[in-house]
Structure 1
Amino acid sequence: MTSNPLTPPVAAPAVDAAPGAPAAERFRNPFSPLVWLLLGCALALAAGACALWIDLPLAVWIQRSVTEPVDASFEWVGEMGESGHYIFMALAFYVIGLVGLARGWRNPVRMSYASMARGSLLMLATMAVGGLIVLVLKRSVARARPELFFEKGIYGLGESFSRSQLFNSFPSSHTYAAFAVAVVLGILAPRWRWVFLLLAALVAVSRLVNLDHYLSDVMTAAGIAVLVGHVLAPRVLDGKYQWPLRAPWRWWSKPNLPRV
């Protein structure tokens, strides 16, 4: 039986592990940096092609075909892309993980406090780093939302950094949040990764059905989430890095080496 590439094999315990921390684990990324770079370039080309030939015809077809009940149903689905709920939950789990690890509490669930701290920190880091990337792209690209085309015939780009809510379509922040959660949960629980990704894809579809975004907006957001989540995962989940198991104000402190 071959091992899952996302399941980290157990290695030797790391130095400076907090009390109650498990043996260090090695996280292995499924692709090399070169493959990730090629995938990123392919995504950029696909998004560009969609913007030129697919985005607008697809939006027009959706506007003509989707009924009001379907539109209202997908409005509810889109609520799963609200990032605030996930950030609050991840922060709560991170605090519980650190406190439980430091005090040696017994965890009633089948998860160590170290794993809880690392997993929730990966969620927070993915939300923060990718969210910043999405925000910068939104402000700098300043793409007109679909509603501007249907109301005023505007399809294209506006003035960069204008802060207009009607010119921040690219990329989709709701789609990014949904896929960031799905990617992180898929890394932590590989057996359920496709379920998480399917739910995130439903959020992306809702942004199209509700005419909040174009296809290339949601494609790019999903790609950024996948890339950011897998780039950060080794630096948070790999047992050779012990900073995630320390309080944030001690992240940059030197580890306590064992006495000889």
Structure 2
Amino acid sequence: MSRPFSSSLWLLLATMLLVAALLPFDGTLSQRAQALPEGIVAFNTRITDFGTFAWMIYGSGSIVIIAYIASRVASSDSFSSKSKTAWRLALYFLVTIGSASTLVHLAKLIFGRARPELFADYGAHSLTWFAGHEWVYQSFPSGHSAAVGSFFSAFSMLVPRLRILFLLGALTIGVTRVVVGAHYPSDVAAGLLLGLWAAIMAAFVFAARNWLFRHDEKGWPRPKS
């Protein structure tokens, strides 16, 4: 069994177990989060939209990515090395964020989970299969969480010494989705882990080509520099 395939299976299993563990508490945790003091809810409302795919690609997120690529290019020696570093980094971010976006929107369409605003009518576990084209049935998984999960996880793979900070950043934005009443905790967990999966799988693919990453002694992708 190939390393990417076996790793994807383990991450898929971990995601399923975590989501299953949160499901019984989704309704209670969602209602309690929305009932937090007004100042906390207002703060979460202000920062929650940093987690959209549009922000990652067209907004400030793209500026962060470009700045990082520029710093890596500046440390390269030759023009050829600078060029390879630039387009490979850009491709890595594009593949990671793009694949996470595709998968999360497909999952939303399939599951059609009712959002917390419909909790009084349907409860926390209502699924309307293939009704995900309607916003109120797009709760699972969280798109914001998948976006920040892929964005911060890509950086955590490239700069592992700051991994804990990047993962905490993703978790922070994910939690805001529960506080503002847009998603249940299991939606957020699924979105974050989907984004993490996208970053890891993209790193495996790049490591196989000796682009940006290499396989360590255990077979995991590690940044080359």
Greater radius of gyration (CA): 1
1:174 is matched with which residue?
A: 144
**Of 22, 38, 42, which aligns to 2:10?**
38
Partner residue of 1:109? 74
Per-residue Cα deviation, 1:133-163 (whole angstroms, up to 9, x for no partner): 100110110000001114x354311242351
1:200 aligned partner: 170
Instruction: State the TM-score, normalizing by the size of structure 2.
Output: 0.78
Counterpart-to-counterpart distance in 1, 2:55 and 2:183: 22
| Distance (whole Å) between structure 2 residues aligned to residue 231 and residue 108 of structure 1 | 24
- In the alignment, the residues of structure 2 paired with residue 140 and residue 32 of structure 1 have an alpha-carbon distance, to the nearest angstrom, of 25
Q: What is the rounded CA distance, in whole Å, between the counterparts of 1:141 and 1:241 in structure 2?
A: 36
User: Which residues in structure 2 correspond to 1:192-231 (within 5 Å)?
Assistant: 192-231=162-201
1:56 aligns with 2:32: no
Distance in 2 of aligned mates of 1:108 and 1:132: 29
Structure 2: any 5+ residue segments left out of the alignment?
77-81, 213-225
Asked whether the 8 Å contact 1:118–1:237 carries over to 2, the reply is no
Residue ranges of structure 1 left out of the alignment (5+ in a row): 1-30, 101-106, 243-260
What is the rounded CA distance, in whole Å, between the counterparts of 1:162 and 1:193 in structure 2?
33
Counterpart in 2 of 1:22?
none
How many residues are paired up?
A: 200
CA RMSD of superposed structures (Å): 2.9
Cα distance in 2 for partners of 1:186, 1:113 equals 23
User: For residues 122 and 144 of structure 2, what CA distance do their matches in structure 1 show?
Assistant: 25
Report whether the alignment pairs 1:71 with 2:41: yes
Does the C-alpha gap of structure 1 residues 146 and 189 become closer, same or farther in structure 2, counting only changes over 3 Å? same
Q: CA deviation at 1:110?
A: 2.4
TM-score by length of 1: 0.68
The one-letter code sitting in structure 1 at the alignment partner of 2:89 is G
3-state DSSP class of the match of 2:28? helix
What residue identity is the alignment partner of 1:55? D
Q: Deviations over 1:82-123 (max 9, x none)?
A: 222322327x84xxx8xx9xxxxxx87325342232122111
Distance 1:179 1:78 in 2: 13
Kindly state the Cα deviation for residue 173 of structure 1 after the two structures are TM-superposed: 0.5
1:134 aligns with 2:134: no
Question: Aligned equivalents of 1:35 and 1:162: distance in 2?
Answer: 29
Decide whether the 8 Å contact of 2:113 with 2:132 is kept in 1.
no
